[in-house]
Amino acid sequence: MRQLRIVLAIAACAAAATLAPATASADKPSYGCAPAFNLGAVPVEQTALLPRSQAAIDAGLIDAAGIIAGASFYDKNGNGVICVQLGPQAEIWNRPFGQYLYNYVDDSSSAP
């Protein structure tokens, strides 16, 4: 019986430790986008309207809901805004489907 209590206590502590980082990141304030993110702050719902996203939709590779779901992964503080970058070498990326890609980061990533 004592061993069962110890195992349950350890499991409860592990669960609390696992959930703690997720709640802490949701409290991060937004500091805006770093200068390198040349497309600036974009609402997650509008990422499907970006030109490269529209090209991927038109090519039948993905739908708007898939793009929005992927972009929402980067919204760590939950304010509905992410920073978007089209890198300077984006036109010559030598990777599959590079012509459809943007770099995303949460708007809480930059510090003042």
pLDDT in tens, 69-98: 999 999 999 999 999 998 766 666 667 788
**pLDDT value at 24 more than 70:** no
Q: What is the mean pLDDT of residues 52-60?
A: 94
Q: Tell me how many domains the chain contains.
A: 1
Residue 16 has pLDDT above 50, yes or no: no
Please report which helix (H) or strand (E) contains residue 84, including its range: strand 81-85
The answer to whether residue 62 sits within a structural domain is: yes
Higher pLDDT, 5 or 44: 44
> Is residue 15 situated within a structural domain?
no
- Per the CB < 8 A criterion, the answer to whether 43 and 106 are in contact is no
- In the chain, how many H helices and how many E strands? 3, 3
Domain that holds residue 35: 29-106
Residue 17 in domain: no
